[in-house]
Amino acid sequence: MKRLSLIVNICISFLLIFHSGCKHDKIETIIPGKVKLVFTQTADGMSLAYDSIHYLNAAGNEFLVNEIQYFISDIDLYSSSGIVTRLKRAESQDVYYIDSHLSSTWTCNVADQIAPGSYDSIAFTFGINGTKNKTGLFINPPEVNMFWPDIMGGGYHLIKMNGSWLDLSNQWQPFNFHIGIGTDTFPSPTIFYDNSFRVHLPGSSFAISENTIKTININMNIDSWFITPHLWDWNVTGGAIMQYQGLMQMAKENGQDVFSVNIN
């Protein structure tokens, strides 16, 4: 009887200890963060004004801008642990269209939830890379209105910046700063060039906490399109560049330092 009583007591003690330990266990639920993207354009350090303010580029051209439309795609966050997170505005949609005259394109709440933690940098593709910049990618406006002529490679413009500059005769001349797929010879091309390029934003490290919204402002500095490494002079280049791969290559190289980021 004493032996049975001892066994019962041991079992009861074990159950009490097990129950005591279990009731203090907690299941931790990590609530992801969210990202909001804001796209802006500036000139001379101020918000870009359209159709009115005259600007002066480094070559001494007086110019004004009427409108800007462009694409940014494949926005990636690089974490300190080596994980890469692709930001999508909706399911499987990682291309962003920005239009200076369409306010609905200025901000975007990213669909994906973002794991809390530290991120070392942000990078994206300016335009749409050649593997997916194909005619038919878009079927609805406004994106479809960015089409690039099939005879020149098809797909879509990477950027349209339209305006005018004051020429050497003191006459205003239109310019169309358009970049898309380039060709070696026009109108009978044999080689096509992908003029999209990868942008690694300087100073783009940040941390995001649980259940918070992080705003990432990506700014295009218009002045930088016309400075380095090629001094842009419309009196030399003329107003239209989309049929000339050499000029689009210059613009592509000038675009490497056009973008900056502010995160809050």
Whether 178 is in a domain gets the answer yes
Q: Where are the alpha helices (DSSP H) in 150-255?
A: 234-237, 245-254
What is the number of other CB atoms lying within 10 angstroms of the CB of residue 169?
A: 7
What is the count of structural domains for the chain? Answer: 1
pTM over 0.75: yes
Whether 106 is in a domain gets the answer yes
Q: How far apart are CA 87 and CA 138, in angstroms?
A: 19
The torsion of the CA quartet 197, 138, 141, 96, rounded to 10 degrees, works out to -40
Whether 26 is in a domain gets the answer no
Q: How far apart are CA 98 and CA 172, in angstroms?
A: 27
Q: Which of 202, 196, 181 is nearest to 255 (CA)?
A: 196
Whether 27 is in a domain gets the answer no
The pLDDT value recorded for residue 92 is 67
Domain that holds residue 175: 32-263
Tens of pLDDT, residue by residue, the chain (264 residues): 444 444 434 444 444 444 444 444 445 566 889 999 999 999 989 999 999 899 999 999 999 999 999 999 999 999 988 889 999 988 668 999 999 999 999 999 998 889 999 999 999 999 999 999 999 999 999 999 999 999 999 999 999 999 999 999 999 999 999 999 999 887 788 899 999 999 999 999 999 999 999 999 999 999 999 999 999 999 999 999 999 999 999 999 999 999 999 999
Whether 251 is in a domain gets the answer yes
Whether 148 is in a domain gets the answer yes
The pLDDT value recorded for residue 187 is 79
Q: How far, CA to CA in Å, does 257 sit from each of 25, 40, 46, 135, 170?
A: 52, 15, 17, 29, 31
The pLDDT value recorded for residue 6 is 40
Whether 9 is in a domain gets the answer no
Whether 5 is in a domain gets the answer no
The pLDDT value recorded for residue 113 is 85
Q: How far apart are CA 39 and CA 216, in angstroms?
A: 9
N-to-C CA span, the chain: 73
